[in-house]
Structure formats: C-alpha cells, structure tokens
A and B are shown apart, each in its own frame.
Chain A
Amino acid sequence: MHDVIVIGGGNAGLCAALTARESGASVLLLESAPRAWRGGNSQHTRNLRCMHDAPQDVLTDAYPEEEYWQDLRKVTGGVTNEALARLAIRDSAHCRDWMRRHGVHFQPSLSGTLQLSRTNAFFLGGGKALVNAYYRSAELLGVHIRYDAPVARLELSQGRFVAAHTGDERIEARACVVASGGFESNREWLRQAWGQSNGEWVADNFLIRGTRFNLGVLLKFLIEAGADTIGDPTQCHAVAIDARSPLYDGGICTRVDSVSLGIVVNQLAARFYDEGEDFWPKRYAIWGRLVAGQPGQIAYSIIDAKAIGRFMPPVFPGVKAQSVPELARALGLDAAALVRTVSDYNAACRPGSFDHATLDDCATSGLTPPKTHWARPIDTAPFSAYPLKPGITFTYLGVVVNAQAAVFFDGQPSPNLFAAGEIMAGNVLGQGYTAGVGMTIGTAFGRIAGTQAAAAAVRGKMHAAA
C-alpha cells in the first residue's frame, strides 16, 4: 500500500507528490490524461505571481506582502479568505528555490508583458517546461506515476480517505491529495451552470482554453459526499478569445489584443461596451463575460490599418477587407448596420493626441456606450476583424480547506484527505483573477497538502501498529 495517493498531475498535484516524497512517503500519482496531454491546465501557464521585498533574479523592484494582498482583495472584490491568501502569498516569496531544485527555470517577463516584470516570475519555456521538469524530478525521486488513470470516485469513511477507484481497480492508501482541477471541460455541467438563452445553451458557444480532462468528476463526487464547498458554482474565468480557436487547449495564443485599438460589435453590428475603458491587460478578463452576454455569444473586434503592428500578433490572421461593407459581408453581418455603427463612432471621435502607452485624450463624445480612450476613426483601409468568443480558463467552485489543505465535511477537517490547486482555489480566489495567482495557489497548497498527507500517512501507520 502506498502512503499517499495524489490524484491529478498538474502543478498542484506534482508539488504535492514531490513534497510528500521528500517527506519520506511512498507516493502514487494518478494522472487522468495520457502522457502527451499530462499536466492539466498547468501546461498552458507561464508565470508565478511572487511576493518579494527587494529585486530578485528575474523580478524587478519589490512586491511586498501587503500590496500583493491588496491586489488580491481588489480583484476578488473581497471574496477571499485572508488567512489562506496570506499563506499562499508568503509561500510565493520562498518557493522558487524549491522549484529550481526540481528543475524549474525562470526568466524575466516575456516581450509584450512588461507590465508583469515586477510581480511575476516567468517559467523558461512556459508551463509545459515546468510540468516536464516536475515529472522528471518525481521519477528520479521514485514517485510512481500512472497516466490514463482517471479516478471515478473515492472510498470515504466518516471523512477519512480509504481508497480511490480507477477503472476496475481499488487502490488503498494512508492519505490522499485531490488535485484534479475544476469542471470547465465538462460541457454538460457548463450548460447547467449557464442555462439557456433564446432556446440555446449559452455554454455551447464557449471554448475551453485549457485541458479537455478537467471534467470535475472528483469535485462532483466530493460535493455529493458532503464536502463543504466554496466559490460561485455558476461562475468561471472567461476571456474573449478568437472564435476560430480549437474547442480545447487553445491556450495563450488564442487571445486577441486588438480590442482597445478599435471597436467591438455584436452579431447585430452594434457596439456594447467601452473598448477603451482601461489598459488591455487590466480589461481582457472582463471581455469573456461581456461577449457571453451577447446574442450567439459572439462579437467582432474591428480595426483599421492604423492599428496594425500596435498589438500582439494574433494566432489567426484578421479577416481583411478594403471597405466596411465588404468587411461586414465577409463576417456575415448586416452591411448597412455595420456602416452605421462605424460612421456613428467615427463622427463621435473627438480630436486628441493618440498615445496607446497612456490613458490618452482620444475619446468619443455623445456616443453610447462611449469609448473613453484611444478612440480614433476607423477610416483607413484595409480593415481587419477578429471574431471573438468566450474562452473559459477555469471554474471557481471548489471544496473548503484550512491552512493544512484538509478537506472539510460538515465543518470538520478530514484527517487524511487534502486538496490543492484549482479544486480549492476558490478559497483564495472566490472571483476575479490576476496573472500568475493560480500557480501561486497551486504551488503553495500543493506543497502544504503533500507535507500534510505524508504526515497523515505516518499517523496512519502508527495508528495501525497500535
């Protein structure tokens, strides 16, 4: 019998498996995906938000605990557990040496992400390189790894973990860490969460930016088994991504960064939100929800030739046309309606000095909704458009944990069942998002859960011996 079973082979699960093994436990890691798709959503990540009081290797300046905490409080609108949040924040100040020991390399922020150079340490090669490093280290340390091993259910006895069931197998262990992610790739669950609009399931028009393996099987099992839950069950983090992206695993490259440089219209060729409200890195996260609120859950970012070369190149080429009516026809929009929207917008643009690097004075006047910055007439051919759909990154619903990462049943912490990563991230991140915080939570609570599971296994052994 293994001391510890870790369910889920993404960042949090790997951190748990590594720390449990370092604490002397024998560890079995069950990854539901085949080897080629291992790592869950972590394979698509790229950085870790780190607290630091002075410049560090790849991090500039300082990012003290209090500022980090205030940022988190702000993005979550207070839907967070301060004690657990501070625990994760403090862990981020010193976890990187441990990560390096397991083969993770860091680099300064990537081009196009200068705004993160102070707060976020980037993984050299991105999240898949990190996942590869952890798997290599786990193999070297003697963690047993099984791919294609989705766990259907657990066997619990009064809040105590007894065994996990995968396929026809029943695998006992002295302790267990559940790090199996959220439910964002479970289409049926998303349907129920988002409901119908005009006789259509809203969520059917969503794309999943991450893994196809986050089906939420264990999350559902734990909820039904009476685990205490946290986080809005109907909410997910969604950004506007290119509508032509793959259904799963589109990852980072499907983002479209042209929004603030032009206008965004819906299927009726009408604008619906201020595209220039704030800098794009501060606004991209609300656009998933905005597009989800439009008919057919689709929108189109429209720019003219002046914007080319001013935003990160998108993965798909823009739909190009020499005139606005031609663009409308290429997009399948009503040409007259789009011409009206564009000319109304153009007429409302006040003269100003365009500066994409500041909140400039180029704004519309007398237009609803307004465009408050970077508003320049769309008048220079060729015109380009990028179709947008909501792309789901992760879900918020999870299980309640304490500072030991123990799962709660009826207000009581389990002695040997722990949770880490997206399945418990809602404790810290009840809503909202800020770059790199998911990896901070996964790393901190993965390490806590691994240590605690190893300790629980020792207690289990002593108990059995007695």
Chain B
Amino acid sequence: MQPLDPLLREAGAATSAAARGTAAAEVARQLQICNACRYCEGFCAVFPAMTRRLEFGKADVDYLANLCHNCGACLHACQYAPPHEFAVNVPQAMARVRVQTYSDYAWPRALGRLYRHNGVAIALALSSGLALFLVLVIALTGNLWHEPMAGNFYRVFPHNLMVSMFAPILLFALLALALGVRRFWRDISPADRAQDAPRAAVAEATQAALSLKYLDGGHGEGCNEADDRFTLWRRRFHHLTFYGFLLCFASTSVATLYHYLLGWSAPYALVSLPVLLGTAGGIGLLIGPSGLLWLNLRRHPLHGDAAQRPMDLGFIALLLLASASGIALLAWRDSGAMALLLALHLGIVMALFLTLPYGKFAHGVYRTAALLKWAIEKRQPSRLQLEPE
C-alpha cells in the first residue's frame, strides 16, 4: 500500500515554494504555515489578525498585506525562511501583493499600472517636462534671466495662476486616492462601515499610523534592515519625511491664509511662519528620504520585493528633488535665477502631486485603512474556538 504518495504530492503542492502561483496565492500558502506556527505573534498586527482566520481569500490577503509594514522581523526570526523548503518570506510575499493593490485600486487604473513599472523614469520625466513647460511659459511671456525681484514669485507667476495650476492637481490626487481607498475598504471590510468605527478604534489606528507603531519590532528596538539587528532609523527617517512633508504643506496653507484672510502677500520674511515651516519641512524632506534611500539600498536581499525599487526610488527621488529645489529657491530668491528655480520647483511639486495616487505615497493611505480595520476587528469576538483548555 502506498497511500502516502499522492498525499505527499498534494502537500507538496500546498506548501512547496516551487508551486507558487499568484502573489495572493503565495501569501495564502505562507500564512497557512504561519498560522500553524504563530511564533511571530508579538511582532506586529499582521499575525494576531491572521490567527482570527483559517483561510486566506483575496480580501484577507489584501488586508493583511497592507497591514504589513515590511519591518522584516518575521523574516529573520523565521524557522521556515529560505533555505528551508517551505521558503516562508512574509515581508516579500506581502510586498508583492501590496504593490498590486496600489495598481488594482488606483483610479483611473491605467495610471497605476504605468507608474508601477517605471517609477523613477516617470517621476523624472514628468518633473522635467513640467519644469520645462513652465520655463517656456516664462521665456515666452518675459525674461527667463531677470533682474533680482526680491523673491517676489508673483511677478513670475501671478498668485491666481499658481492657484489655478495647483488646486486642480491636488484635488485630483486627493479624489483619486479617496476613490481607491474607498473601493479597497469595501472589498476588505464589507461588513464594517468605516464611519461607524468605534471612536477608540479610530484613535488607536490614528496613533499607530502617526507613530509608526509597527516599525518598533514589538519590543521597541525597531525593525530590521541589512541583517537580524534591530534599528530605529527607518522609523526616524520616515518621521522626518512624513512630518517634513506635512510642515511643507502647513507652510503653504499658512501662506494661503495670510494671502486671503490677512491680505499679506509673499514674499515673506525669513523669520515668518511660512518660511520657517517650509524650511524645517524642507530640511526634514532632505534628510528623511536620503536616509530611507540609504536604508533601502542596504536592505537584506531577501527582505521585501526588489522589483519595487523603481517605485520606491521614484518617490524618494521626487521628494528629494522637491525639497532640494525648494531650499534652493529660498536661498536664491533674491537672485536673477529665481524664475528658473521657481519653474523647476513648481514642475517637480506638480509631478509629485500628480503621481501621489499611483506610487509609493499610496501605501500610507491603504495602510491606514488596514490599521483601522485591525483596530475595529480586534474589538470584535473571534469566530474561532481554538482554545479548549
């Protein structure tokens, strides 16, 4: 009697790395192994969320993949990681699904696909194209190289023109992201309306997103980069990037209020609130993305999905270009190069806004949604009864 042979073949198909199918099927295969092990339960929210399930359909996989912060702790701690034949590499499998959700849920979808494959090229082409266009506009309407204008941008681009260029782009980006994440939420959480979430759940998810709670490794020492050592640098650089971005945004918002409410026109003094906020944000946006780039390039080869580097680097490049050109503009706003620098900076920022919904930036939106779902779900009783004793 050889009853075991066909069973072994089937089992092989169920767990062996050779039989991997789509990215979602691969996550499901790995989580079947993880769910029988559970050693990683203390690292982050992914594993406790996993233990509430026995099977991993597409919605579960999309949800868990976006809940994963790619910290790498579970890869280095995994007794089933390569070279084990189970070849469990949760951060990598999750990353591959995650990038699919960004393009699957992108609105309009075609743009998501485009950006996913050519992140760096598109980011750079778009920025230079837009900057060039603006340079041409200046050249056609006036002098590209000019006498110093004491930092008065509006003499190059009148205020209303700038608003009419940027407001639609920003609104479009926000709309695209909102439509995408709404569709994502409906798929991963058909039973729970986000607006009905308990207040404590919303507060917890917000706190987890803003503090990057799940980059702490579960013990506070941080996540993994090049090896099994823990480091807090990814969290710190990410904070510099995110809060730098917010400060720049705040700078623009304050300037807008000055302009419309108080009737104070730019240029603002170096010690004024918009300039101080923008300078601090710009410095954060220089150091943060540089640090993330450095970590990204040193990351362990098994950790994460190398195919997504163009997307990661594209976003990092745009952020760095935006901050560098912004600081250059501030530094030389009283010189004859102001118009040129302004065109360059505006072109880059436009490209950054335009690509927000289709690239790495989207991770923040989908992850926050996943964190909210986890905060809701963990407050509900489990449907499983696995704890007899």
Contacts and interface: CB of A to CB of B under 8 A. Distances in A.
A136 B78 contact: no
Interface in A262-313: 267, 279-281, 296, 298, 308-313
B85 A246 contact: yes
B4 interface: yes
A436 to B, nearest CB: 14
A464 interface: no
B79 A126 contact: yes
Main secondary structure of the interface of B (DSSP, over half): loop
B77 A251 contact: no
Interface string B1-25: 1111011101110110000000000
A114 interface: yes
Given A110-B38, A126-B39, A279 B388 contact: yes
15 contacts: A36-B82, A105-B218, A114-B389, A122-B42, A125-B39, A128-B39, A251-B80, A252-B39, A253-B33, A253-B36, A267-B1, A310-B386, A313-B35, A317-B10, A332-B4
A244 interface: yes
B386 A124 contact: no
Nearest to A261: B388
B374 to A, nearest CB: 15
B156 to A, nearest CB: 56
Contacts of A37: 83
Contact of B42 (A125, A314, A317): A125
Interface in B47-101: 48, 51, 54, 73-74, 76-80, 82-86
Contacts of A309: 54, 383-386
Contacts of B85: 246
Contacts of A249: 79, 84
A356 interface: yes
Contact of A280 (B36, B383, B388): B388
Interface residues of B, number: 49
Interface residues of A, number: 55
Interface of B: 1-4, 6-8, 10-12, 14-15, 32-33, 35-43, 48, 51, 54, 73-74, 76-80, 82-86, 218-219, 228-229, 383-389
A325 to B, nearest CB: 15
Given A244-B8, A246-B84, 14 more contacts: A46-B39, A105-B218, A110-B38, A110-B41, A125-B43, A125-B73, A125-B77, A242-B11, A244-B12, A296-B1, A309-B383, A309-B386, A313-B36, A316-B14
Contact of A317 (B14, B38, B78): B14
Given A244-B7, A315-B32, A332-B3, A252 B77 contact: no
Contacts of A128: 39, 76-79
A315 B33 contact: yes
Contacts, number: 149
Contacts of A253: 33, 36-37, 80
Given A114-B389, A251-B80, A387-B4, A124 B36 contact: no
A43 B37 CA distance: 13
Interface of A: 36-37, 43-44, 46, 105, 107, 110-112, 114-115, 122-129, 132, 136, 242-244, 246, 249, 251-255, 267, 279-281, 296, 298, 308-317, 319, 331-333, 356-357, 387
A254 B86 CA distance: 12
Contacts of A298: 4
A243 B6 CA distance: 12
B43 A124 contact: yes
Contacts of A114: 387, 389
Contacts of B8: 243-244
Contacts of B388: 279-280, 310-311, 356-357
A112 B38 contact: yes
A206 B6 CA distance: 19
Contact of B11 (A123, A244, A280, A308): A244
A98 B78 CA distance: 24
Contacts of A122: 42
Nearest to A317: B14
Contacts of A115: 389
Given A126-B79, A129-B77, A246-B85, A279 B35 contact: no
Nearest to B40: A125
A281 B389 CA distance: 8
Contacts of B83: 36-37
A112 B43 CA distance: 17
B41 to A, nearest CB: 5
Contact of B1 (A252, A311, A332): A332
A127 B77 CA distance: 8
Contact of B386 (A267, A296, A312, A315): A312
Given A129-B77, A331-B7, A356-B385, A314 B36 contact: yes
Contacts of A44: 79
B32 to A, nearest CB: 6
